[in-house]
């Protein structure tokens, strides 16, 4: 009897790009893709963090390079992708949050969150996918969304607006790119301990309210997301597109 074989999780020979890769979730996902065999380009607005990350990945046996890019500069994004060979894997991780009551939100706050979380992701995806299509690459585009792209939360009108929009964008993008065998999916985490979330989680009452929602009883760690990124980037998820991998410890289950 011939048994079916598990599709490969390895990423050898593939080129990946991760935005916001200097620390936190972006750094962890870049490390995961490199460990799986991908050649990874780490992107951020400043060089120091991504240079250190690329060196660390190299010392761990992976292949990584650092590239400065402000993903909110759409003209720069277009030039960046035109000047490079096509990537096989894109991880849209760059993002921000400005938690506040809806009554306190200014136009500047709105622009800061939506421009990075949604507009930049849209055009990075467009430019990267354009090169994938031109080179006939069966690529994988992974967007780092949030459980807040599936539910609401107090003082999260901006963040929820951006992440719900990102979930819809990913589904529609999946349909546009399916004829080219390019997949689009999201990873939607709960609160992950990172430099961005640390100031909020230092508030004991806020942390307690978060833990009360996470049914598994702990905050997320970046390691909780690494396997999902490798899965979505690899042949193991070849029939997955237009969906979301929700890693929330049970937050959205009730």
For each successive 10 residues of the chain (254 residues), what is the average pLDDT?
A: 94 98 96 98 95 97 98 98 98 96 98 98 98 98 98 97 98 98 98 88 93 97 98 98 98 95
78 φ, ψ to 5°? -60, -45
CATH of the domain at 193: 3.40.50.720
pTM of the model: 0.97
The total of structural domains in the chain comes to: 1
Instruction: Answer yes or no: 122 catalytic.
Output: no
50 in any annotated domain: no
Residue 10 to residues 31, 32, 67, 229, 235, Cα–Cα distance (Å): 14, 11, 24, 12, 8
14 in any annotated domain: no
142 in any annotated domain: yes
Local structure of 128: helix, strand or coil: helix
Placement of tokens 């390019």 in the chain: 182
What pLDDT was estimated at residue 16? 98
List 81, 87, 123, 159, catalytic entry = 159
What pLDDT was estimated at residue 7? 94
What pLDDT was estimated at residue 198? 86
Rounded (10°) CA dihedral 63, 68, 70, 73: -110
How many whole angstroms separate alpha carbon 152 and alpha carbon 122? Answer: 22
What pLDDT was estimated at residue 44? 97
Copy the structure tokens of residue 38: 């991908």
Provide the residue range defining the domain that includes 96. Answer: 22-39+58-63+70-101+132-160+168-203+230-249
């Amino acid at each position: 009897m011939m048994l079916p074989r598990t599709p490969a999780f390895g990423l050898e020979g593939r080129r990946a790009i991760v935005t916001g890769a200097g620390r936190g979730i972006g750094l962890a996902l870049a490390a995961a893709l490199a460990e799986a065999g991908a050649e990874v380009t780490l992107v951020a607005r400043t060089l120091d963090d991504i240079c250190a990350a690329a060196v660390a990945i190299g010392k761990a046996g992976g292949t990584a390079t650092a590239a400065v890019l402000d993903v909110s500069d759409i003209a720069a994004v277009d030039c960046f992708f035109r000047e490079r060979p096509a990537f096989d894997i894109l991880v849209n991780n760059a993002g921000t949050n400005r938690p506040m009551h809806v009554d306190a939100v200014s136009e500047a706050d709105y622009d800061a969150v939506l421009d990075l979380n949604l507009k930049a992701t849209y055009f990075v995806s467009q430019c990267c996918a354009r090169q994938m299509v031109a080179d006939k690459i069966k690529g994988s585009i992974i967007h780092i969304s949030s459980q807040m792209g599936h539910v609401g939360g107090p003082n999260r009108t901006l963040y929820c607006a951006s992440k719900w929009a990102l979930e819809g964008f990913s589904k529609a993008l999946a349909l546009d790119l399916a004829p080219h065998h390019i997949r689009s999916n999201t990873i939607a985490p709960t609160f992950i301990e990172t430099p961005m979330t640390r100031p909020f989680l230092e508030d004991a009452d806020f942390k307690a309210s978060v833990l009360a929602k996470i049914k598994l009883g702990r905050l997320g760690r970046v390691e909780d997301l690494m396997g999902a990124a490798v899965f979505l980037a690899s042949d193991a998820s070849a029939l997955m597109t237009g969906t979301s991998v929700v890693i929330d410890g049970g937050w959205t289950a009730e």
